[in-house]
Amino acid sequence: MHRSPSGSFSTPLPSSFVLGCAGLIAASLLIFGAVGIRALASSEPEAEAVSEPSETPALTTSTTSAPQVAPSPPSERSAVREVRAKLQRDLETGKFPAFVADVEELLQLDPDAGADRKLRSAIIDVLMVITAGRGEHADRLFDLIENRMGTHGIDLLYQLVIAHGGSRASVRAAALLADPAIRARGTPAMRVAYDLRMASCAQKSQHFSRVREDGDTRSLQQLELLKNPCSRRNTCCLHAKDPELLSAIDALRTRAQN
């Protein structure tokens, strides 16, 4: 027994009791520590799995530009100018065999030369002279018109028929146009004008709708005659009041103004 600081006496606790209490305290600390660690671990958010975006291969569009037609080289353009100049000289000096050779050479260098209205007019003038006596030069020029000038050549044949009727050149052109295979290579406007011209009076109305769609001034001239009253010059007058005829005339007049 010993005296406490307050002056009272106390009996010391047994050592077994002290050791038991210490063990309980240690066990409690271990339990509370484990629970705290588990709670802390459960409170941490789980990392979400981040899925990597799938890579989609980019679509590549091939933008190949349309091939451009290369312009004629300077040497070729110069050759065309020289041939045209020679052609004009041969025309003015009346060297028609040379003129025919010039036309052939020009069409070789420039296949679209037939689109030149002045050239077509010159060809008609020469044909009117050289066909007066049938010869190889006329044959050669007609062959170029028929086979080397495309639609322009076939239209030129029709121009010979309507503008120089009765001439040898016109008769020969009419014989060529009588072939449907040759006419088929002409423009739609030329074909319908030819069909309208060759149709009988009673059959002309069958072409009015085609004329309205494809015709030009060559058909318009014929339609204007059909709408006139009967007379000594106009014996085909039974279509004068036909609505299809009047509609076709209006359409061609409008087209000619545009």
Share of the chain above pLDDT 90, in %: 61
Pick the last residue of a domain from 160, 186, 212: 186
pLDDT-derived band at 71 (thresholds 50, 70, 90) equals low
Pick the last residue of a domain from 131, 164, 186: 186
In a domain, 51, yes or no: no
pLDDT in the model for residue 238:
85
The boundaries of the domain holding residue 199 are 189-257
pLDDT in the model for residue 249:
96
Indicate the angle between helix axes 96-109 and 74-92, nearest 10 degrees: 160
In a domain, 153, yes or no: yes
Shared domain check, 159 and 81: yes
pLDDT in the model for residue 135:
72
Shared domain check, 233 and 158: no
pLDDT-derived band at 243 (thresholds 50, 70, 90) equals very high
Please provide residue 205's backbone torsions phi and psi, each rounded to the nearest 5 degrees.
-65, -20
How many structural domains does the chain have? 2
Query: Is the pLDDT confidence value at 217 over 80?
Result: yes
Average pLDDT over residues 223-237: 85
Shared domain check, 165 and 251: no
Q: Among 38-47, 136-145, 184-193, which stretch is predicted with the lowest mean pLDDT?
A: 38-47
Cβ pair 10, 4 in contact under 8 A: yes
- C-alpha dihedral, 247 to 251 to 252 to 253, nearest 10°: 100
Q: What is the pTM of this model?
A: 0.69
Shared domain check, 178 and 218: no
Shared domain check, 123 and 96: yes
Average pLDDT over residues 184-189: 97
Shared domain check, 156 and 104: yes
The C-alpha atoms of residue 58 and residue 139 are separated, in whole angstroms, by 65
pLDDT in the model for residue 86:
97
Query: Is the pLDDT confidence value at 73 over 90?
Result: no
Shared domain check, 84 and 176: yes
Pick the last residue of a domain from 126, 151, 186: 186
Shared domain check, 251 and 172: no
Question: In Å, how far are 51, 52, 63 from 58, measured between CA atoms?
Answer: 20, 17, 15
52 or 250, which is more confident: 250
Cβ pair 14, 22 in contact under 8 A: no
Shared domain check, 174 and 140: yes
Longest Cα–Cα distance of the chain, Å, equals 170
